[in-house]
A = this chain, B = another copy of it.
């Protein structure tokens, strides 16, 4: 089918509909590090909530631990694929909103988006 949109050749049958990666990196030397600013709590809460809603698994949602995503200045950060949507979050309410609005409803949470210039 002709499509005017530029972009790579995607596989539209995703094993997970949404695959969420939380940076849990812990730097021991005092540098900015997601593990020091609540990343584990956010991950745990997201995983529990997705599981409780029976959304986990193939064809659904996978919530994953990850090493350093290299956008430490915005930590704690998480990224949702295949969309490539990056989030920064503060507390469980933020995670709830990401789950409910984005992962369930398909609508990204604008107020939690990581600005594009945030790197290490």
- Number of copies of this chain in the oligomer? 2
Contact A81 B19, CB 8 Å, known A58-B119, A64-B66: yes
- Are B5 and A84 neighbours in the complex by a CB distance under 8 Å? no
Q: Which residues on B sit within 8 Å (CB–CB) of A70?
A: 57, 62
Q: Mark A44-58 against chain B: 1 for CB-CB distance below 8 A, else 0.
A: 000000000000011
The total of chain A residues at the interface (CB under 8 A) is 39
Q: Which residues on B sit within 8 Å (CB–CB) of A5?
A: 1, 3, 5, 12
A63 to chain B, nearest CB (A): 10
Chain A positions within 8 Å of B, measured between CB atoms, are 1-16, 19, 21, 57-58, 62, 64-71, 79, 81-86, 106, 116, 119
